[in-house]
Amino acid sequence: MQTKSLLSLLALASVPLASASNGKGSGKSCSHKGLDWYAKKAGLKYFGAATDSPGQRERAGLESAYPKYDEIMWKSGEFGQTTPTNGQKWLFTEPTQGTFNFTEGDIVASLAHQHHKLLRCHALVWHSQLAPWVEAGNWTKDELRAIIVSHITNVMTHYKGQCYAWDVVNEAFNEDGTYRESVFSTVLGGDEFIQLAFETASKLDPKAKLYYNDYNLESPSVKTEAVRKLVRQLQSKKIKIDGVGFQAHLTAESRPTLDEHVAAIEGFAELGVEVALTELDVRLEMPGNATNLAQQKEAYKNAVGACVQVDGCIGVTIWDFYDPFSWVPAVFPGEGAALLWFDDFSRHPAYEGVVEALTNKTQGHHGKGPRGVKRWVA
Ligand code: XIL
């Protein structure tokens, strides 16, 4: 099927809002009004894209695309923030006990520094992409506590001063609000390992915001309630937690509504923590067509629009920007085209949906005014 040319055609039809002048510009010099420019205008701190070090990118054989990719990633002004998709995970940073390796994480961190992008750091304690030795050990509680403390201490110390935020604990809950089974929850219990992780992190880098990060938090549910309970629990113990990351791995066909997104974000904002969309992507049942690309546009628009509208939602990160480097096809067979740039670097219609959201076009659908531009008063 001629998916790609159809997709390109659709994309071309929708393109270049961002480079056109819309009369909204400040006098500030900015050669290209990319998504980050619009995000900052809307009062967000950033619009970013995660990226991987070249050797780790999802699809090999695309080296010829790298110059164009790097241009968009680092120089176009589309993105003001990045997150290393893999390089700071336990598997890479402490592959064997007590041996630390920051090579992969440093590649992205130094590019971010060089190009003046804010860096979100990801992820300290997670059951997945964990070094096998952590799971293989038959640890006592004391041993596992020491392992967690040593890992967090070494990794956060290495990146001290470089991270806007750290995802301290990632994906600790099941969908029913119980703690996910992992070596951490099995040996220490969910409450204890999470508290230990945040307590340890709080002593290491005063500049870094400490986040709990998870998926399926974008609509109110038993899972969002469990995470809210966790936030309150840490707060009541005076353990620092600054934010909750909504991964926002969405599907075009069954996307949350704008109101659901707003309600979920507000549920955390009212606890006094900030929210960020940390890994936004919207996957399609392949092949893409006019219908599912329109649904995808709506999904992106709802997610970003809610973040713009709710005070306390501070930024949006998409999980890479270029479809060939998306994690989706490898993990969800038959699904793909989840990002904003197609294989040929033309833009998805959803790009325009994001610009619409960032220019407050969703505002009329909800009672609150745009944040930043004209903050609503509680
Ligand atoms: C993904 C990466 O994008 C892939 O390259 C890797 O193979 C698996 O992990 N939730 C997270 C991210 O918190 O770290 C995951 O990233 C996607 C799901």
Instruction: Give me the DSSP letters along 128-149.
Output: SS--HHHHHS---HHHHHHHHH
Active-site hit among 279, 298, 352, 356: 279
pLDDT for the residue 374: 29
First and final CA of the chain: distance in angstroms?
52
Mean pLDDT of the chain: 90
How far, in Å, from the CA of 310 to the mean position of ligand 1? Answer: 27
pLDDT for the residue 32: 66
Could you tell me the pLDDT band of residue 360, with boundaries at 50, 70 and 90? confident
pLDDT for the residue 362: 73
Task: Enter the pTM of the model.
Answer: 0.90
The contacts of residue 122 (CB under 8 Å, 6+ apart) are 50, 83, 84, 85, 88, 89, 166, 167, 170, 213, 278
pLDDT for the residue 121: 99
pLDDT tens per residue across span 154-209: 999 999 999 999 999 999 999 999 999 999 999 999 999 999 999 999 999 999 99
Of all atoms in ligand 1, which is nearest to the CA of residue 171? 13
How far, in Å, from the CA of 166 to the mean position of ligand 1? Answer: 15
Residue 7 has pLDDT above 60, yes or no: no
More confident residue, 362 or 153: 153
Of all atoms in ligand 1, which is nearest to the CA of residue 167? 13
pLDDT for the residue 5: 36
Residue 127 has pLDDT above 70, yes or no: yes
How far, in Å, from the CA of 325 to the mean position of ligand 1? Answer: 11
